Structure 1
Amino acid sequence: MKSRPLLWLILALPGIWMLSRWAFTPDEYGYGHFIGDSGDWAAWLLLVTLAVTPLRLLFRRWRWTAWLMRRRRDLGVASFAYAAGHTAAYLIRKGSPEFVLAELSTPYILLGWLALLLFVPLAVTSNDVSVRLLRRSWKRLHRLVYPAAVLTFAHWALSAFDPTTAYIHIGILVAIEGLRIGLQRRQRVT
């Protein structure tokens, strides 16, 4: 797939589906469904984004991994867009800054805000101009994705009625990061 707009359309389809369901069938698909689905898509796209480096290290000569590397920022920004939609739904539901501030002492709410706070500079600088301007600092800045991912999945586990699915995704995150670290170390040794 060479067309970036086509990729963005594909990445936007779940969001369009969620918004249309919420708009046209609010009794069946309300706030709870939207908040859950938007959070799920943010997390899934984050996992895909994080998996790009180990996949590229494992399958270096394969074209599809080169394509993933070129589109990694797009995947990360799409993850952020779903997280922003998740946050916007939460803010709309609460309706006032007082309610939002009152919930900051709730651990899963605080973790969600901290994760979003770390993701904002990553989303803002996920463009070619920022890469050129920041040079080596860009890579250092984008390492914030790792603590942000930990906060994201902790937010999910603590906010879920049944955290089993969150724990499975935390296991996937640990596997992705363990593989990445192992492959990068092996690459430095050889």
Structure 2
Amino acid sequence: MAWRWAVTPNSYGYGHAIGDTGDWAAWLLMATMAVTPLRLMFRRQRWTGWLMRRRRDLGVASFAYAAGHTLIYLVRKASPDLIFAELSTPYILVGWIAFTLFLPLAVTSNDVSVRRLKRSWKKLHRLVYPAAVLTFLHWIWSAFDPTTAWIHVGILAAIEIVRVMLQRRQRVT
């Protein structure tokens, strides 16, 4: 994306760069969140174990795209006064809150943090749920045509409904 923007700035400008990085961040977030329900549905399949081992990598990749999205926004605005003035805009505010929630998740997505934080690590990483909701609110509120965002919200909702149902069923049996 950076290469494309640098080489063809007239045809692939700010709007494409910020949109594409945001899209990839959201898609990778959905893929990350889909791993648990897939593992619960297909327990004995080797590929779900492979996905579980790479779930953290997917989450970090999602954060990297979100960080790129944020960096593009900051470079474009280039003025702290302008950035702070836009905080009163709802889609900007929820985007910043989502990014703030993802920051500790990205920082602690390593084996050392897992060992040091022990059970607190899992509690901390449950921040992904409110962060995901805020991410998709940001997408809906900032989109020129929110239809695509709403479709992805439906997919995310389906992923989470399946996860909750499977986890509840496992506790009962």
Smaller-chain TM-score bracket: over 0.9
Matched residue type, 2:139: W
Partners of 1:186 and 1:89 in 2: CA distance: 43
From 178, 181, 189, the equivalent of 2:161 is 178
- Asked if 1:129 is matched to 2:107, the reply is no
TM superposition shift of 1:72: 0.4
Secondary structure at 2:151 match in 1: helix
Equivalence map 1:1-150=2 (5 Å): 18-150=1-133
Partners of 2:98 and 2:24 in 1: CA distance: 15
Aligned residues: 173
Matched residue type, 2:52: M
Could you tell me the percent identity over the aligned residues? 77
TM-score, normalising length: structure 1:
0.91
Moved over 3 A (4+): none
Secondary structure at 2:22 match in 1: helix
TM superposition shift of 1:61: 0.6
Post-superposition CA distance 1:10-64 (Å, at most 9, x none): xxxxxxxx11100100001010000000000000000000000000000001111
TM superposition shift of 1:83: 0.2
Partner of 1:12 in structure 2? none
TM superposition shift of 1:104: 0.1
TM superposition shift of 1:80: 0.2
Secondary structure at 1:140 match in 2: helix
Consecutive unaligned residues of structure 2, counting only runs of 5 or more, are none
Partner of 2:146 in structure 1? 163
Partners of 1:61 and 1:99 in 2: CA distance: 53
Partners of 1:113 and 1:32 in 2: CA distance: 18
Partners of 2:44 and 2:3 in 1: CA distance: 41
Partner of 2:137 in structure 1? 154
